Structure 1
Amino acid sequence: MYQQNFLRKKRNRLLAAGIAFVLTLIVTTTLVTINGLNNHQRRVAEQAQLVQSSLNSMLSDAHEATQKASRLLGGACDFNVEKALNMLPGRYRHIYSINVVHNQHISCSSLLANKHADIGFVLPLDKALWMSRTVRSPDIYVISLITHLPQGTLYVASDLRFLYEMLGSDLVIQVSGKTLTAAGLVKDSLAAAQFSHYEALPAHSPLYTLAWRKPEMSEIIGFTLNSWLSMGFILSMSAIMAALTWLLAIRRHSLYTQLANAIRQHQIHPHYQPIICAKTNAVSGAEILARWHHDELGFVPPDVFIPVAESTGLIIDLTESLLEQVVDDLQQGIAAFQPGFKLNLNISHAHVVDSTFDLFIDYWSPIFRALGITLVFEITERENIDICDALTRKIDHIKRSGIRIALDDFGTGFSNLAFISNLSPDSIKIDRMFTRQISQEAATPLIDCVIDMAKRMNILTTAEGVEYGYQVDYLKANQIDYLQGYFFSKPLCFSDFAGYLKRYRD
């Protein structure tokens, strides 16, 4: 049975720890990468908001400057007009020049060098907004707001250089088919192949489009690898999960080993909880319960070690060990039992379906028959038992051998009438959950129905978990057959159980 435990050997524990490390590595890397990508998108969004705000402010200044400059139109471009135009850009942070256009030439400007310049090759007057080099300084890029008025055409040029750093490597601005990048002005639009990785942000102005570059996979990975903090988190979490898996595997392996040793050395002992006949008040039997008191851990609850025994195959060895000790107890001769005295023992479904179960029956049934004890196998209803031909045959073999069958924990699991019919139990043990529902103030129809159904099917009933006198009175009044619980006695070692029998008879 030891070989059936997956984590029984060091290489399996290493494999489990390795799998935990890799899975955690994948999960944490994915989460950190997603977090890095989200952080990057958030930074780009904040950067885009700043660029948009600055660009809108620039255009707003250009509109305001246009309105003020329009008052100067309609007359000759004399000294006073040029002086007024020259003073306007000083009131706005980014305006480079204010220009009046007539017949494709600048007739008046805030920059004297622009006067009489031909703008046909720089500025298409059919556009409302245009990005280009300046008329006299080819190294400076401006965005020009073009306004047509009855008195003439005005265009206000704003310096774009301050936007370069704000754009960075992730943002671009498209205006009238041209695109401004951090490296300068490109004559292509966002539809060009070089901008295929860019995605337009929600439009906030009909005059321009702001777009951001979607990061490539190498950059996404870089968001993770370039952060020592992220890498430290990923590796530490992976190592922690691997260590926890290793420790859990060792703990499970350790518990399995200690359980196997305890069974082999008979350190898990049988205790006996009396079962009382409701009609005669006599002790008609007892349930055998496994109790393990570890030298270091102290009392180990059955809810802890029984599942381990069932999942690793040790339950068969545990059952054998308990029966051996029960036989030794009975052969001491310190207790006298009435003919037909019953000893109930829980049998796991995993044991019933084991290939050695028939040999187990053939070995133990004659031993208990010779001792004058009726052995009762309790099969718990909590297990989802598949009623098949092989199981039916084993149930028949149990009954032919003189062993009786009780359905344990009735009402809490998978049973139904068809299941009871196929299993044909001699008795059912009503779960303590129903017994707790009995109160002094109200009736308990559920437990009444169970008892009535069992009587109609000629099945004996035992109420588990009886703790109060009013529960005893209620159950007896409703014709329960047997009672079991702390009201009568807790589970006892055999010597105490023998003394209990003597006191109970006396």
Structure 2
Amino acid sequence: MPLTAKASRSWFVRYALSLLIGLLPILSGIAILHWQAARTLGEDAGKTAGEALRQFDLMLDNAAESANVILPLAGQPCDDIKLALREQVTRQPYVRAANLAWNNNLYCTSLFGPYQEAIDPADYVDGTLWLMNGNPVTPKSSLLAYRLQDGKGAAMVSIDGYHLANTLRLIGREAGLYLQVGDVWISGQGQVHEGTAPGFAVGQTSLSSSRFPFSVSTGFPAGEAWRYVGKEYPAPMALLLVFGVLAGATARWLQKRSGAPTHELRRALEAREFIPYFQPVVRSDTRQWAGAEVLMRWRHPREGLVRPDLFIPLAEDSGLIVPMTRSLLQQTAALLAPHAASFEPGFHLGVNITARHCQDLELVDDCRDFLAAFAPGQVRLVLELTERELIEPSAVAHQLFAQLREMGVMIAIDDFGTGHSSLSYLRQFNVDYLKIDQSFVAMIGADALSGHILDSIIELSAKLELGIVAEGVETLAQRDYLTSRGVGFLQGYLFGKPLPAEDFLDNFKRQACTQEDNIAVSE
């Protein structure tokens, strides 16, 4: 709805002040709830970090126990001690492998027995822990190695990365959770990354082990506090909404003042500022103009042309859509009747109607007056049912459509396939045309699912012997696709934009001349 700087300053101040009074307690209450939610999430993050720290300490305690058992064996022949290494793997939870080294040379493993590989103690944080992305045996499986040294001998016990990732997932199922060892870290996905683990927007908590050189960090992503507010505080939110209702009631009262949008609509209706624009509908086989859709535009004295989506919903809610449509029909008849002789007989003129039009029989008189302005059979009026409001199949509605059909008025379902009532309209009303919504046309060649839906609509119209109009045709590829599938009528920017009557008639005359020239050339 147009609002300009020329509007009443006192009205604007009153409206802004009332709105501020309504919003202030709501916004302050929401801010308090958000703070409480963030505080609670911070406490939860602290508990999560503490539980994860205890669990990883327990894993490493098992690894340390195994290392203490096998370390005295370091330096002995591998064939004599390999069974003792394997015994630790089978007996200790979480332990995947046990290995021994002498003089920084790995020479015996629980998996292979004798083995030769140089060991660099610098790879281990504090000479104790090494979080690896994998090793030559399992290059795609991470693991955490614990190292214990005594003189020339050293024991290395590894924990499978599966246990690490599983612990991170289970304990951090509601919060993000990372394990950091030196300059590498791992998440519940099991991948090892270099650098410092990412931070969290809400409840950031980090804890370090007092016994081993690792830390855990946890927290929640941005927006989690708002989600928590919606989930955990429904009662306070409902109380805050009461204040919102009061603010809405205040705004509604202001709307009834002289500067309210509904009054602006009534003023514009009396001033005949709602004018018809026309967009051509062409035959797919000959490209000849077969009709036009009549579209309502608001020519505001200060704002210029106002988009329909800014005033049509309000017009429907206020009931003004009925007299506005009546004015649209009257203006269309006055503008086109003097030129109707140049139209092909049965030239279609489509006008949108809503549930408001179907509540009484006044629409019958409006349509009768419209058709009376033209020679019999010169134009065909098509009423397009929209779904902004559901049309109830009442006795009055059925009587209305029966009388319209007796007059020769045709019925189309607009934007077919996008609303919840399209199929019910086919059952309840005697429909002549389906208008395919432009969203399906736009996805031709780009989206297979939309293409299947589009083909199904075309097939349905053929089975029901209904005419079909495709809206939003903008490319030659879309035109050819629809034509090849037997869509009879096309509408869109490829053939013409919505124009005022004078420009529409000029374009129509040029199109008619071009059509005649093409016929003459072909003959």
Question: What is the TM-score of this pair, normalised by structure 1?
Answer: 0.51
Q: Which residue of the other structure, out of 483, 491, 497, is the alignment partner of 2:504?
A: 497
CA–CA distance in structure 1, aligned partners of residues 290 and 32 of structure 2: 69
Alignment of 1:70-469 (within 5 A): 245=251, 249=255, 253-333=259-339, 336-354=342-360, 356-368=362-374, 370=376, 372-439=378-445, 444-469=451-476
Aligned to 2:48: none
CA–CA distance in structure 1, aligned partners of residues 493 and 21 of structure 2: 51
Aligned to 1:44: none
Q: Cα distance 1:26–1:495, how it changes in 2: closer, same or farther (>3 A)?
A: closer
Aligned to 1:474: 481
CA–CA distance in structure 1, aligned partners of residues 313 and 472 of structure 2: 21
Q: Which residue of the other structure, out of 493, 502, 506, is the alignment partner of 1:486?
A: 493
Give 1:436 shift. Answer: 0.7
Given that residues 341 and 378 in structure 2 are in contact (C-alpha distance below 8 angstroms), is that contact kept between their aligned partners in structure 1? Answer: no
Q: Cα distance 1:250–1:484, how it changes in 2: closer, same or farther (>3 A)?
A: same
CA–CA distance in structure 1, aligned partners of residues 276 and 482 of structure 2: 28
Q: Cα distance 1:420–1:34, how it changes in 2: closer, same or farther (>3 A)?
A: closer
CA–CA distance in structure 2, aligned partners of residues 306 and 378 of structure 1: 15
Return 5+ residue gaps in structure 2 as ranges. Answer: 1-13, 37-239, 514-523
Give 1:384 shift. Answer: 2.1
Look up the equivalent residue of 1:325 and give its one-letter code.
Answer: Q
Given that residues 437 and 472 in structure 2 are in contact (C-alpha distance below 8 angstroms), is that contact kept between their aligned partners in structure 1? Answer: yes
CA–CA distance in structure 2, aligned partners of residues 272 and 395 of structure 1: 25
Q: Cα distance 1:309–1:423, how it changes in 2: closer, same or farther (>3 A)?
A: same
Given that residues 365 and 403 in structure 1 are in contact (C-alpha distance below 8 angstroms), is that contact kept between their aligned partners in structure 2? Answer: no
Q: Cα distance 1:369–1:377, how it changes in 2: closer, same or farther (>3 A)?
A: farther
Listed one character per residue, the Cα deviations across residues 331-373 of structure 1 (whole Å, up to 9, x for unaligned) are: 3338711100010001121112135334334443434464721
Coordinate RMSD, CA, aligned: 4.1
Look up the equivalent residue of 2:504 and give its one-letter code.
Answer: F
Give 1:29 shift. Answer: 9.9
Given that residues 290 and 347 in structure 2 are in contact (C-alpha distance below 8 angstroms), is that contact kept between their aligned partners in structure 1? Answer: yes
Q: Cα distance 1:471–1:241, how it changes in 2: closer, same or farther (>3 A)?
A: same
Listed one character per residue, the Cα deviations across residues 230-271 of structure 1 (whole Å, up to 9, x for unaligned) are: xxxx9xx99x95998379626895322222222222222111
Q: Cα distance 1:313–1:455, how it changes in 2: closer, same or farther (>3 A)?
A: same
Give 1:500 shift. Answer: 1.2
Given that residues 272 and 492 in structure 1 are in contact (C-alpha distance below 8 angstroms), is that contact kept between their aligned partners in structure 2? Answer: yes
CA–CA distance in structure 1, aligned partners of residues 324 and 482 of structure 2: 34
Given that residues 384 and 414 in structure 1 are in contact (C-alpha distance below 8 angstroms), is that contact kept between their aligned partners in structure 2? Answer: no
Question: What is the TM-score of this pair, normalised by structure 2?
Answer: 0.50
CA–CA distance in structure 2, aligned partners of residues 30 and 490 of structure 1: 49
Listed one character per residue, the Cα deviations across residues 377-414 of structure 1 (whole Å, up to 9, x for unaligned) are: 01114432222333222111111111100110101112
Listed one character per residue, the Cα deviations across residues 193-230 of structure 1 (whole Å, up to 9, x for unaligned) are: xxxxxxxxxxxxxxxxxxxxxxxxxxxxxxxxxxxxxx
CA–CA distance in structure 1, aligned partners of residues 312 and 400 of structure 2: 23
Q: Cα distance 1:505–1:241, how it changes in 2: closer, same or farther (>3 A)?
A: same
Aligned residues: 297
Aligned to 1:164: none
Given that residues 466 and 483 in structure 1 are in contact (C-alpha distance below 8 angstroms), is that contact kept between their aligned partners in structure 2? Answer: yes
